[in-house]
Each structure stands twice: as structure tokens, then as C-alpha cells.
């Protein structure tokens, strides 16, 4: 067997012989084959002097049988954790508790990081709970700093009031001396809430378990705190890459997602992108699912990460060496390496075979690791060996015992070690202690300073007016470019030519910009779950506006800064085509985010990183000339898209072409009748101004657009009034009624005279609480949930009963109701054709709803058909 495992087996044998004996006695009685006494299992002295301080957190292992810590639940508190420092990486060097005076043995410490010069440590502390105090009055997690030279500690944010305004942890020094950290402060997000007319609150993660932790940056003295990431769930474990960018673990929990992947961005929050792992989670033991946590740059340019399930067995997982420079997924290389490399991108960082599922792990498990920067490629690790329980005895993990399939893992025994990947050996730094786990192990060594990426400057790095308006720019080269492939049958250039392709022949016509609605905790607003409607899968959503998709599939549009965004592609009816965009985007004020095109989730390929796919669209072929058969007013520069050309020309005056709108508007600005040989395509508009019922946005947003515009649709206020709105067709005299197409005239259980009747199409659109959900109108449930078919019997309306089988015990027939499928499918207007087809030109209800009304219903259904889209409008429990 390998050296590590053989040494561990001898050590485990000692453990079994000395069950119940103190660890000091156990070490003394464990003798190597050469007769020397060593806590390293018989390994010789380290040839490289470990003459540097080390630090780690030490706390009690959770009691067997208690739930493990979930990586998605961050407000855990394990009293008794403290930070220890050794002046040398050696078991002979005494350890000192540097936080005991602060925690008094009843607090907790986590997330230790050294400074680049190796002289300071930054970490998070939560002091002891106050007996009998309310949760709001309990101590919060605060960022502290320890100076190795002076042996003094200070809280980074000096003010008690300011320090207690959020839960702060996971700090990391930036190369310029500032600190990036994860926090519930949500500084900029709370400012946005005020702009939206809502109270400030700690927005909850998408599971509504606790406040979302997102990344903030502050000066070394705790001043100038500002938010730089805008995820709806947690962004944690920041570190700094060799190129100066911040790498971190992001909990992606948008609809259809629940995984922690690695992301990167500049320290000011710009240029956010996926770094690694969105499609590499099923790479654990037996293809089990793992998450990527605690990323740290390694001297070889790779990334060290801890791979574990959400709840780590024995508090540990496997260490991975990930080549993030050349890969975005385990077998997906970046564009420069396409066809050259095939993976795997991730390799075990040690020779030990680690299991990421429950049960014994032959190679033990790791709770933390830190790359040493001394030219040896060694790792400082917290590691627990594999041990088994046989009755009350602790025995070593032998192949025979593990092969039985019934082996029971003994409690973990963590120690701190230095692992040598060349010699495959590890030497002790802090001896394992029964019932104790070591986490957050770090070495205090001087490290080469990464480049400082300065925050962007308004007027220098970006348009100052964009920042003043609270917006950035989203630039899509062509929505017909899907993962680098031109998906148009005739080619994007042909699609863009008005002589060859009419507007109605282009599938993608508009872009809708959406945002997640932040949800408060239940103490702030304990609203009922019925507010979400028939499903909570989409959360609550607000719409921000619409932009035209140009003939070549390009888009260039302003979007609000500092919010979590999503986009949808729409057809000419304003209904989403293709899959939902299921990752949150963000732009900083003044930032321009560019992408080549779109992504097919079914491909299994990652997107969201700049160097993954070549553009499928070359743009304009020449400079100074218009696109073929288009108006000469829009002359192009070579390589520009139509959206870029239109925006450039527009910005010679007012940049109106960059503004989104709350309306869906189409005007053919491209067709040149002289060269295209046909007139321009017919313009149209679907606007809230044309509604005869309440609009879901303000009048100023209907007439213009600003970054604070929100389209917030509630069923009772905005959708339900459509059904009772009078729809009378009059003769030419303006008096004679030709037809009454009011929805509730037919879709009701009562005639005008008050007699019972079967609602037309088994769809009742009248007021009144639904029987199965009193918080929602009957009409809403009939539209979106299965319900029982009804019939009229003796003047009484009742559920229709049909034979469903024979009772095997009595032989008697059994009857049951007939289910009516819903007319609408929450989340998909184009999947709701049972409803919308009736209003098509050839449908039975053609022109009975206006185009503005159909647009309203379509966007509401597409966004999730929620009953409410504002938690402060929803009823309370």
C-alpha cells in the first residue's frame, strides 16, 4: 500500500489497542518499524524545514446522531470554537489560543485567512449567546484581525452599531489591502428596496431559510462598506486568483437549480462569470453529487477546492486540484483548448481515496486545506483517518473489513498535517484529538502579491451618465448563436436581410428583462404561501422592460444595475420561446456586459464564461456601408451588429435606441423599400396605456423608462378584472348591441336570471374564494389548477361522477369525479395554447381580448402566474 495508507494502518492499530486511553499515551505506545516513536506513523523528519507559523480553528466534533452542517445554511453556531496559532508548523511548537479572551470559550470562530505578507490573520467571530435575549439582540458574526507580531486582536469594524448591522464572515485580503467578505448587509440591495417603495430588510435566500449572504468590500479600517455581488442566495468563500480577480463559491438556486459552483469577478463586482463546475457536480463517489467549496489558488496555477455534498460526511470531503485556466467543466475545455484537451479538469489533490458519500472512507476525509507557497507544492491539511467501529472497539479500516459492506465508521479523528504530493507522505503539525475537529488551517507565509485590479472610474472606464442613471448595458451579438452555432436555417446574414426575410418570419422578436423579488423573513412579513399561486417554483418576479431583437438577432439595451436579472426571448406575441434563462445576471453601474448569444441547457455544456465559444456571427462585412437592403441611415463599421449600429447612431442625439420600454413595440427601421423591393413591415404596439383595467406599473414608466421602473402583476388587481370588463359589440348606430363578449357572461355558474348553469368550457371566471384554496379566487384555480367537471342535475350544479372501477371487496361499482385540465400553465404562455389559441385570428374568441390584454396575461403566465408578486401586498398568516 502507499506510504500514507500504510502509516495510517499502523496508527489505526494503535488506536484499536488503546481504545479509551488518552491520546498522549496512545502516541507514546505507537512504535514504527524502525523502533522510533512518532505521531506520524513512522515517517522520517520532513526534509524541508516548516519554519513558518500556522493557524487553525479547533472545536468539538458534533455529537454522533446530530444533523450535520448544511453548506447552504450559514448561520450555524457551534459554541467552543477558537483560533489557535503555532509559531512553527510542528507538533513540538506550543499552540496558543488567540481568541479565547474574546469568545470566553462560548463563542465560535470560522473562515481564517492570512495576509499576503504572512503577518496578520483575518477571520470571523461570533461571541457567546446572551441567555434569555431575543434573537435580534444576540451577537452577530463580526470580522476580526490578529497581528502575529504584536499578538493583538481588533474588530475590523470598530463601531458597535455598525458592526451589528449584519452577519459578516468569510473575509479575505485583497491585494490593495482592502477586505472582501460575505455578509447579510446587502448594502446596495437595500437601497434598491427603498427605490422600489419597500422597507429595507434582509432579503432571504431562495429557500427562505435565512438571509442571503453576498459579497461586500470594505477598507482595512472597516470603512466604505459596499456590496459587489447580487445573488439571490449565498456567495461565500472568496479568495483572490493569480490575475487579481475574486473567486468564490456561489449557491445557484434559481428555478431548477440547487448547486454550489465556482464563479469569478473583479473586486468591484464587474465582469462576473462562471469559472467552473456548473455541470460537474455528479463527480463524487459513485457519481454522487458534490459541491465546490473553499477555493484557493495553488502555486501551479490550478485551484484547490473542497468537494463534498451539502452535508459533509464526518464534516469532511475530498480535495480537488482543478485546472480552471483551461477548463470550465470536468471535460469541457475553454475555446483555446477545444479539440486539444478533453479532461478531466479535476483530479484528487492527494493520493488518498476519499469517499464523498456516507459511510467509511478508506482514505479518510479532509475538512480544510491550504497550499504552501514555498516551492514544494505541499498542502497544509486537516485530515481524519479512516476508522471503524466493531462493537465498542475502534479498529483500522482494512480492505477485508471494508469489503464486508457492513462496516460502521467510527467518529472522525482530525489532525493537522503537511501533505507532500511528491513523496506521498504527510507529517503532523497538530496531533489528532478524539472529539475535536480542526478547520480553517492556514500557513502564514509571504505570498507573491496578485495584481491589483482597481475599481473602475466613472468617465474613465465607463460612461459616467450610465452610472448616474443606475444602469449598465447588456449587449447580445445574436440570439440565433446558440453555443457558437448559427441556428437559423438560412444563416444569420440572410435572416437579417429584409429583402430575403420578413419580420414575421423571424422567430425571436423581443427581449424581456426580469428580476427576482427579494423576500423578507417571517418576522418582517409573515405572508402566506398561497401568495405564490399554484407553484412557488418561480418565486416572485417583477418585469423591468422590453427591447426589440434586431433582424440579425442582436440586442443592445440598458438594464438596471445592482439587481439580479434574467432575460427571456419572445415571439411576436410577446410570449417566451425556448427554455427559461436560469442564472442570475448582474451589471455594475456603467458596466457593459457582452455575450455572443444564447445557450441550450440540454447540451450539457457550460456557458457564462467569456472564452468558451467562438461567435457564430461576424457582423457587418464592411465599414461605412449599411447592411444589405437596409436604410443608408444606419451605416455600419465592420464587425458591428445591427443593435450596435442602431445604438451608435442613436447616441449621436439621445441614445433612445438603448432604452427599454414597458410596452412591446415594433417599428421597422431597417427595411429600405428601394433596395428590398417591398414596403416596410407593419408596426405594432402592445402597451399598458391601452388597457381598460389597472396597469401593473406607474404612468411615468408607461410613458418612459428609468432604472427604477417595475412591472408588478397581481392576479386580483391586474388579471382578474379582465374577465368582468364589458366587451360589447355595437352596430354602426352605436346603440344596437350585436354581441356581448364579456368573459363572465358565459364563464359563470349562474345565468343572468340567477339560475344555475354549467360554466362555458367548465371554466368559471367569477369572483369568490376557491373551495380548495380560500386565499385564491375560484377563477384563478380554474385557470391554473385541475378541477372537477360539473353538470346540472335537477337544476343543481354538482360534480359529475363517472364509473372508475369495481370495489374488489363488495363487487359494487365505484364512482369518482372527472378532472378538467387547467387552461393555463404557470411559467409558459406558449404552453398554454388551450387558452391563447381561442384568441388567435382563427380562434373562437378572436379579438375578444385586446393585444394589450393578451400581452398582460402572457407576461404574467410566463413569469410564473403568481397570485402576488410583492410580499407586502400578500395576506399575512
pLDDT in tens, 285-317: 999 999 999 999 999 999 999 999 999 999 999
> How many angstroms separate the CA atoms of 537 and 534, rounded?
9
Per-residue pLDDT band for 803 (boundaries 50, 70, 90) equals: confident
Residue in 183, 94, 176, 78 with CA at minimum distance from that of residue 129: 78
Q: What is the CB neighbour count within 10 angstroms for residue 169?
A: 24
Flag the least confident range among 182-191, 402-411, 531-540, 646-655: 402-411
Cα Rg for the chain, rounded, in angstroms? 32
DSSP string, 181-232: EEES--HHHHHHHHHTT-----PBPTTSSSBPPEEEEE-TTS-S-EE----S
Per-residue pLDDT band for 66 (boundaries 50, 70, 90) equals: low
Mean pLDDT of 646-660: 96
Q: For residue 246, how far is the Cα from the chain centroid? A: 17
What was the pLDDT predicted at 64?
Answer: 62
What is the chain's percent helix, strand, coil content, to nearest 5?
A: 15, 30, 55
pLDDT (tens digit per residue) in 735-778: 888 999 999 999 999 998 999 999 999 999 999 999 999 999 99
pLDDT (tens digit per residue) in 424-467: 999 999 999 999 999 999 999 999 999 999 999 999 999 999 99
Where do the DSSP E strands lie in 266-421? Answer: 273-276, 291-297, 303-308, 318-322, 327-329, 332-333, 346-348, 365-371, 379-384, 387-390, 393-396, 408-409, 414-420
* Position 677 pLDDT exceeds 70: yes
Q: Do 257 and 274 meet the contact criterion of CB atoms below 8 Å apart?
A: no
The residue assigned the cell 477545444 is 338
Q: Residues in the chain, how many?
A: 877
Residue in 670, 659, 602 with CA at minimum distance from that of residue 636: 670
What was the pLDDT predicted at 136?
Answer: 82
Q: Do 416 and 27 meet the contact criterion of CB atoms below 8 Å apart?
A: no
* Position 45 pLDDT exceeds 80: no
DSSP letter, residue 837? G
3-state secondary structure of 629: coil
Q: Do 48 and 380 meet the contact criterion of CB atoms below 8 Å apart?
A: no
Q: What is the CB neighbour count within 10 angstroms for residue 475?
A: 17
3-state secondary structure of 657: helix
Q: Do 723 and 743 meet the contact criterion of CB atoms below 8 Å apart?
A: yes
What was the pLDDT predicted at 48?
Answer: 55
Q: Do 354 and 416 meet the contact criterion of CB atoms below 8 Å apart?
A: no
Residue in 365, 396, 397, 358 with CA at minimum distance from that of residue 382: 365
pLDDT (tens digit per residue) in 576-599: 999 888 889 999 999 999 999 999
Per-residue pLDDT band for 63 (boundaries 50, 70, 90) equals: low
Task: Report how far apart the first and last C-alpha atoms of the chain are (Å, whole number).
Answer: 62
What was the pLDDT predicted at 8?
Answer: 39
Q: What is the CB neighbour count within 10 angstroms for residue 689?
A: 12
Q: Do 382 and 437 meet the contact criterion of CB atoms below 8 Å apart?
A: yes
**Cis previous bond, 344, omega within 30:** yes
Q: What is the pTM of this model?
A: 0.92
> How many angstroms separate the CA atoms of 860 and 717, rounded?
12
What was the pLDDT predicted at 76?
Answer: 87
Mean pLDDT of 488-509: 97
| Angle of CA points 762, 768, 773, to nearest 5° | 85
Residue in 557, 510, 538 with CA at minimum distance from that of residue 860: 538
Residue 252 parent element (H or E): strand 246-252
What average pLDDT does the structure give for the chain?
Answer: 92
* Position 10 pLDDT exceeds 50: no
* Position 474 pLDDT exceeds 60: yes
Mean pLDDT of 234-253: 98
Dihedral sign for Cα 463, 469, 472, 478, please.
Answer: negative
Cα–Cα distances in angstroms (integers) from residue 740 to residues 456, 728, 729, in the given order: 61, 5, 6
* Position 121 pLDDT exceeds 80: yes
Flag the least confident range among 348-362, 464-478, 674-688, 806-820: 806-820
Identify the structural domains of the chain with CATH numbers, from first to last.
3-443 (2.120.10.30), 468-518+541-712 (no CATH), 716-862 (no CATH)
Mean pLDDT of 784-805: 92
Amino acid at each position: 500500500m502507499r506510504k500514507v495508507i500504510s502509516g495510517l494502518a499502523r496508527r489505526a492499530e494503535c488506536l484499536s489497542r488503546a481504545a479509551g486511553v488518552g491520546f498522549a499515551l496512545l502516541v507514546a505506545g505507537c512504535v514504527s518499524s524502525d523502533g522510533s516513536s512518532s505521531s506520524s506513523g513512522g515517517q522520517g523528519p520532513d526534509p524541508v524545514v516548516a519554519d513558518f507559523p500556522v493557524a487553525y480553528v479547533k472545536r468539538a466534533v458534533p455529537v454522533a446522531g446530530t444533523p450535520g452542517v448544511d453548506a447552504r445554511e450559514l448561520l450555524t453556531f457551534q459554541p467552543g470554537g477558537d483560533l489557535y496559532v503555532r509559531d512553527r508548523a510542528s507538533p513540538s511548537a506550543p499552540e496558543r489560543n488567540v481568541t479565547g479572551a474574546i469568545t470566553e470559550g462560548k463563542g465560535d470562530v470560522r473562515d481564517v485567512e492570512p495576509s499576503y505578507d504572512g503577518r496578520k490573520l483575518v477571520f470571523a467571530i461570533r461571541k457567546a449567546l446572551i441567555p434569555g435575549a431575543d434573537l435580534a439582540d444576540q451577537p452577530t458574526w463580526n470580522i476580526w484581525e490578529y497581528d502575529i507580531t504584536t499578538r493583538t486582536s481588533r474588530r475590523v469594524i470598530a463601531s458597535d452599531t455598525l458592526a451589528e448591522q449584519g452577519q459578516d464572515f468569510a473575509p479575505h485580503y485583497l491585494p490593495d489591502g482592502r477586505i472582501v467578505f460575505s455578509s447579510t448587509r446587502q448594502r446596495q440591495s437595500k437601497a434598491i428596496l427603498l427605490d422600489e417603495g419597500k422597507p429595507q430588510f434582509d432579503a432571504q435566500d431562495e429557500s427562505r431559510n435565512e438571509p442571503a449572504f453576498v459579497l461586500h468590500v470594505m477598507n482595512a479600517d472597516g470603512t466604505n462598506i459596499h456590496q459587489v455581488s447580487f445573488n439571490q442566495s449565498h456567495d461565500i468563500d472568496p479568495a483572490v486568483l493569480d490575475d487579481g480577480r475574486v473567486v468564490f463559491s456561489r449557491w445557484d438556486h434559481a428555478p431548477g437549480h440547487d448547486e454550489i459552483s465556482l464563479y469569478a469577478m473583479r473586486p468591484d463586482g464587474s465582469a462576473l462569470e462562471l469559472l467552473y463546475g456548473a455541470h460537474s457536480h455528479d463527480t463524487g463517489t459513485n457519481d454522487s453529487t458534490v459541491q465546490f467549496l473553499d477555493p484557493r489558488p495553488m502555486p501551479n496555477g490550478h485551484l484547490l477546492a473542497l468537494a463534498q455534498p451539502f452535508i459533509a460526511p464526518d464534516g469532511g470531503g475530498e480535495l480537488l486540484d482543478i485546472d480552471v485556466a483551461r477548463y470550465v467543466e470536468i471535460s469541457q475545455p475553454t475555446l483555446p483548448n477545444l479539440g486539444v484537451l478533453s479532461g478531466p479538469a479535476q483530479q484528487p489533490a492527494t493520493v488518498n481515496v476519499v469517499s464523498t458519500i456516507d459511510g467509511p472512507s478508506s482514505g479518510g476525509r479532509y475538512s480544510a486545506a491550504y497550499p504552501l507557497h514555498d516551492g514544494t507544492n505541499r498542502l497544509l491539511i486537516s485530515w481524519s483517518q479512516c476508522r471503524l467501529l466493531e462493537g465498542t472497539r475502534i479498529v483500522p479500516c482494512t480492505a477485508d473489513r471494508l469489503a464486508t459492506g457492513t462496516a460502521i465508521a467510527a467518529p472522525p479523528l482530525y489532525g493537522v498535517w503537511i501533505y507532500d504530493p511528491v513523496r506521498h507522505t504527510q507529517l503532523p503539525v497538530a496531533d489528532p484529538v478524539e472529539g475535536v475537529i480542526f478547520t480553517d488551517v492556514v500557513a502564514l507565509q509571504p505570498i507573491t502579491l496578485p495584481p491589483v485590479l482597481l475599481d473602475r472610474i466613472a468617465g474613465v472606464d465607463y460612461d459616467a451618465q450610465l452610472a448616474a442613471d443606475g444602469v449598465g448595458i447588456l449587449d447580445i451579438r445574436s440570439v440565433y448563436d446558440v453555443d457558437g452555432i448559427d441556428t437559423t436555417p438560412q444563416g444569420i446574414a440572410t435572416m437579417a436581410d429584409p429583402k430575403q426575410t420578413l419580420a414575421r418570419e423571424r422567430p425571436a422578436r423581443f427581449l424581456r428583462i426580469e428580476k427576482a423579488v427579494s423576500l423578507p423573513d417571517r418576522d418582517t412579513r409573515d405572508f402566506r404561501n398561497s401568495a405564490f399561486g399554484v407553484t412557488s417554483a418561480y418565486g416572485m418576479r417583477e418585469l423591468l422592460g422590453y427591447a426589440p431583437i434586431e433582424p440579425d438577432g442582436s440586442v443592445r439595451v440598458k438594464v438596471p444595475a445592482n439587481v439580479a436579472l434574467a432575460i427571456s426571448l419572445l415571439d411576436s406575441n410577446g410570449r417566451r420561446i425556448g427554455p427559461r434563462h436560469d442564472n442570475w445576471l448582474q451589471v455594475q453601474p456603467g458596466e457593459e456586459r457582452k455575450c455572443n448569444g444564447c445557450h441550450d441547457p440540454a447540451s450539457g455544456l457550460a456557458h457564462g464564461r467569456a472564452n468558451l465559444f467562438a461567435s457564430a456571427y461576424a457582423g457587418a462585412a464592411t465599414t461605412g456601408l449599411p447592411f444589405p437592403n437596409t436604410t443608408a441611415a444606419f451605416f455600419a463599421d465592420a464587425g458591428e451588429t445591427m443593435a450596435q449600429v442602431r445604438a451608435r447612431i442613436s447616441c449621436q442625439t439621445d441614445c433612445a435606441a438603448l432604452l427599454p420600454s414597458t410596452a412591446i413595440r415594433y417599428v421597422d427601421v431597417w427595411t429600405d423599400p428601394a433596395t428590398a423591393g417591398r414596403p416596410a413591415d407593419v408596426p405594432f404596439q402592445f402597451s399598458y396605456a391601452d388597457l381598460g383595467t389597472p396597469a401593473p406599473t406607474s404612468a411615468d414608466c408607461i410613458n418612459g423608462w428609468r432604472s427604477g421602473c417595475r412591472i408588478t402583476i397581481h392576479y386580483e388587481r391586474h388579471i382578474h378584472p379582465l374577465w368582468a370588463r364589458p366587451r360589447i359589440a355595437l352596430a354602426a348606430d352605436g346603440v344596437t348591441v350585436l354581441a356581448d363578449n364579456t368573459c363572465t357572461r358565459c364563464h359563470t355558474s349562474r345565468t343572468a336570471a340567477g339560475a344555475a348553469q354549467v360554466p362555458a368550457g367548465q371554466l368559471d371566471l367569477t369572483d369568490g374564494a376557491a373551495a380548495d384554496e380560500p386565499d385564491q379566487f375560484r377563477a384563478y384555480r380554474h385557470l391554473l389548477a385541475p378541477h372537477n367537471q360539473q353538470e346540472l342535475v335537477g337544476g343543481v350544479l354538482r360534480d359529475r361522477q363517472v364509473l372508475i372501477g369495481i370495489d374488489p371487496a363488495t363487487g359494487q361499482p365505484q364512482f369518482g369525479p372527472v378532472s378538467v385540465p387547467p387552461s393555463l400553465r404557470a411559467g409558459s404562455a406558449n404552453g398554454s395554447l388551450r387558452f391563447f389559441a381561442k384568441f388567435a385570428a382563427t380562434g373562437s374568441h378572436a379579438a375578444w381580448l385586446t393585444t394589450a390584454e393578451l400581452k398582460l396575461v402572457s407576461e404574467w403566465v410566463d413569469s410564473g402566474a403568481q397570485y402576488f408578486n410583492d410580499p407586502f401586498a400578500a395576506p399575512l398568516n
